[in-house]
Structure 1
Amino acid sequence: MKNIQMNQAQKGFTLIELMIVVAIIGILAAVAIPAYQDYTIRAKVTEAMSIASQAKTAVSEYYVSQGSMPADAAAAGLSATGTDYETAVVDAMTYGRTSADVGVVTVAVEDLGGDTAAGQNFTLTGTGDSTGVEWVCAAGTLASKYLPSNCR
C-alpha cells in the first residue's frame, strides 16, 4: 500500500478569527451610532436656526427703523401665535422684549430623537445699538451639544 500524504493548505477562516472580526465590527458600531445620532440632531437644530432667521430679520429691521426693540411679536411683523411657525423640527417660536435695546426669540423644537423632547428650546438674544442688532444664541432647555458650533 502506498502511503498517502495529505498536505492540504488550510482554506477559509477559523471560528476564532471570525469571532474577532465580529467583535471589532460591534465595537465600531457602538461608537459610530451615537455619534451619528448627535450629528443628525445637530443638523435639525441648525434647520430650526434657519427658520428663526426670519424673526431675527424682522426684529432687526424694526430696531434699525424705530430705534428700539418691538414691544411684541405683532409689532415686529411676526405671528403672535408661536405655533404658526410649526414645522417638522420647530414646535413654536416666540418673541419677547426685555428692554428697549434687547429682544429675545425663543425657539422650541419638536422631539428630534436621542435625549431631546418636544418643547425643549434655545434662545436668540438680540442687542441693539447705533450699528444695528447683534444676535447671540444660547441653549435654553436644549442640551448645548446640539447647538451649532458657533453657538456653543
Structure 2
Amino acid sequence: MLLFRHTQRGFTLLELMVVIAIISILASLSAPTFTRQITKAKLIEAQNLATQHQSLVEEFILLHGSFPSTAEFNLIKHSLDPASLVKSITVEDQDKEVGNIQITLNDNTGITEGQYLKYSRDANRNWHCTSDLEANVLPQQCESLANTGDTGA
C-alpha cells in the first residue's frame, strides 16, 4: 500500500517578511542616488539654455562691442516654456565685454525654487559657472557655492 504525502509548497510568512525587509533596505539605500540622477538629468535643460544664451551674448558682443544691457538681452533671449525647470534668464554686472547670465530655477526634484546657475564671462572671453546647488548634482564645469554661504543674489 502506497501512502501519499501531501507536501505543502510555498513560502512561509517569515520568509516573505525577510525578503520584503531586504528589498526595503536596498530601496532606501538607492533612493538618494536615484534622486540625484533625476536632478542631474533635469539640469541638462538649464545647461542647454545657458549654452544657447552664451552664444547669443557672444554674437551680440561681436556685433556691438559690449555685453548686452538688460533691455538688449530681453530682446534677444529665447522665451521660456511655462512648464520649464528654468524660471528666468537674466544678465547682470555688465561692463564692456564682461558680465553674467543667471539662470534661476523653479522648484523640482532636488531643486528649491530660486536656486541658480550663474555663467560669468571674463575679460579673456572665458565662461565660468557657479551655483548655489549642491556640488553632487552640478555639471563638472560648475563650482558650487552652497557650502560657502554665498547666496549669489
Counterparts of 1:120 and 1:86, CA distance in 2: 18
* Aligned-pair CA distance for 1:56: 0.4
Task: In structure 2, give the amino acid aligned to 1:73.
Answer: T
CA RMSD, aligned part only? 2.9
Residues 109 and 86 (structure 1), Cα distance of their counterparts in 2 relative to 1, 3 Å cut: farther
Question: What is the TM-score of this pair, normalised by structure 2?
Answer: 0.74
Q: Which runs of 5+ in 1 are unaligned?
A: none
Contact 2:128–2:141 (Cα < 8 Å) also in 1? no
Contact 2:91–2:102 (Cα < 8 Å) also in 1? yes
* Aligned-pair CA distance for 1:41: 1.4
Task: In structure 2, give the amino acid aligned to 1:14.
Answer: T
Contact 1:90–1:107 (Cα < 8 Å) also in 2? yes
Alignment length (residue pairs):
141
Task: In structure 2, give the amino acid aligned to 1:123.
Answer: K
> Match of 2:96?
100
* Aligned-pair CA distance for 1:142: 2.6
Contact 1:46–1:147 (Cα < 8 Å) also in 2? no
> Match of 1:41?
39
**Greater displacement, 5-14 / 101-110:** 5-14
Contact 1:63–1:128 (Cα < 8 Å) also in 2? no
* Aligned-pair CA distance for 1:27: 0.8
Higher-RCO chain (CA-CA 8 Å, sequence separation at least 6): 1
Residues 104 and 57 (structure 1), Cα distance of their counterparts in 2 relative to 1, 3 Å cut: same
Runs of 4+ aligned residues of structure 1 deviating over 4 Å after TM superposition are: 4-10
* Aligned-pair CA distance for 1:93: 0.8
Report the structure number with the largest CA radius of gyration: 1
* Aligned-pair CA distance for 1:63: 2.9
> Match of 1:26?
24
> Match of 1:117?
112
What SS does the aligned partner of 1:69 have?
A: coil
Task: In structure 2, give the amino acid aligned to 1:89.
Answer: L
